[in-house]
Amino acid sequence: MRFLKVLFLLIFVFAAFAAHAQSSAELKHQREELTKQLEELNHEYQETVNNKKATLKQLNLLKQQIGLREEKIKNINSEVHNLDNQISESNNFVHNLQSQLTQLKKEYAAMVLFTYRNQSAYNKLMFIFAAKDFNQAYKRLKYLQQIGTYRERQAGYIQETQTELHVKIDELDKSKKEKNNLLIDQEKEKETLGVEKNNQVQVVADLSKHEGMLKQQQQDVQKKIAKTNREINAAIRREIEEARRKAEEQARAEQRAAEAKAKAENKEVAVIPKVRAITKNSTTSEVLNATPEAAKLSSDFLGNRGALPWPVTNGSVKQGFGIYTDNEGIKNESYGWDIKTNPGASVRAVFQGQVTRISNVSGTFLVVIKHGEYFTAYSNLRSYTVKEGQKVSTKEVIGTVATDATTGEAIVTFDLYKGMTPVNPRIWLAPN
């Protein structure tokens, strides 16, 4: 029973350590990824510093660095917390093993003493022959044999417990050293974070000298965003109206054909069911899916939700979908994703469809593609390689991203609409 208790304790503790190890491994991986991103940002930031001129790009890079640095410090805190739990559990485990070892040694010493006192072969024979009958004598013989076996087993338990105790003590020392290294790394990160925040203050002070120019730049960006949204909405609205017009014309043509056929056959005029007819009261979805081809394309697009490729092969989300606050503390709303990528990167269609609109928006281009009742829009393109009415396939290149002369960043804006309603690309694009 004592052995079973020890075995159960070992299994429980090993399971707990395995869970901690998995969590610690994930945190370590996250810390390594954050360190890699920080190194890339720092390299990019140093390039802007070497230009000896404070720019919006410097400020944006510093903000990203500070955000990642704070996230890394939070990650280290989680790792330290995990290690504290591990160390506490290891201490408890070591204490239990030491108690168990002490008890095993005590029992073993008593057993050795008993054996020593009864080691005489004469005493053993007397113990056996003093039995009342043969059955009791046999049992006494087996008892003496079991004592020897049990003593050997107890010696094995003691040796195993000592070995396990040494292993756990080594692991405990290793965890303590790892925690100490993490705390040193955390202090370095905090110092670097302080430097970056001071740099941010300095850059903001330098940029404040050009406040008027910067505000004008920001206003120009907001105007461009608003104009892009208007162009997208107008393009989708035109497609809806065009689909409605074609559907109504087809319904009227079918009605006229039915009337002509009925007249020729001298029969009562058949009326096209209202289910098939598109009217002013029809929903946007019904209008855009009026044809079998459009309905199938919509279904295929929906079937790929969560698996659509990104509009660029290499990129990260700089501004997500929804309400956000800009540098001036003003709330804005993003209807898509601003994806930062490499300068001159190719922009591609995320699904097969038809190009319905190409517009020039303040010097850069917007491409809108129709996928049944769904639409995707790609803006801030330096150039485009498609034309209106052209059918494109999934991942087909439609243009190249433009690079902002002020910030030096190459950002493509990707919007996704169901009819006139913008939807969050996060639930549609595959994990990057």
Which tens digit of pLDDT belongs to each residue from 350-369?
999 999 999 998 889 999 99
Number of alpha carbons in the 13 Å side-chain half-sphere of residue 215: 8
**SS3 (DSSP) at 340:** strand
Q: What does pTM read for this prediction?
A: 0.53
The CA distances from residue 139 to 97, 127, 132, 142, 148, in Å, are: 35, 11, 11, 5, 15
- 59 vs 372, more confident: 372
Contacts of 386 (CB under 8 A, 6+ apart): 355, 358, 367, 392, 396, 398, 399
Comparing CA positions, the residue from 9, 6, 1 lying closest to residue 160 is: 6
pLDDT for 226 equals 83
Number of alpha carbons in the 13 Å side-chain half-sphere of residue 322: 5
Other Cβ atoms closer than 10 A to 72: 22
Q: 284 near 298, Cβ under 8 Å?
A: no
Mean pLDDT, the chain, whole residue set: 78
The CA distances from residue 124 to 132, 147, 252, in Å, are: 15, 12, 115
In angstroms, the CA 203 to CA 215 distance is: 16
- 32 vs 365, more confident: 365
Instruction: Report the alpha-carbon angle 358-362-367, nearest 5.
Output: 20
- 371 vs 258, more confident: 371
- 90 vs 112, more confident: 90
Other Cβ atoms closer than 10 A to 377: 27
pLDDT for 18 equals 47
Other Cβ atoms closer than 10 A to 413: 26
pLDDT band at 306 (very low <50, low <70, confident <90, very high): very high
pLDDT for 253 equals 79
- 199 vs 153, more confident: 199
Highest mean pLDDT among 14-18, 68-72, 155-159, 390-394: 390-394
pLDDT for 76 equals 82
Average pLDDT over residues 410-422: 94
The CA distances from residue 83 to 21, 66, 129, 151, 181, in Å, are: 9, 26, 62, 39, 12
Of 52-56, 73-77, 384-388, 412-416, which gets the smallest average pLDDT?
Answer: 52-56
Q: 131 near 140, Cβ under 8 Å?
A: yes
| The CA-based dihedral angle spanning residues 224, 229, 231, 237, taken in that order and rounded to the nearest 10 degrees | -170
Contacts of 402 (CB under 8 A, 6+ apart): 364, 380, 381, 382, 410
Flag whether pLDDT at 19 surpasses 60: no
Share of the chain above pLDDT 70, in %: 72
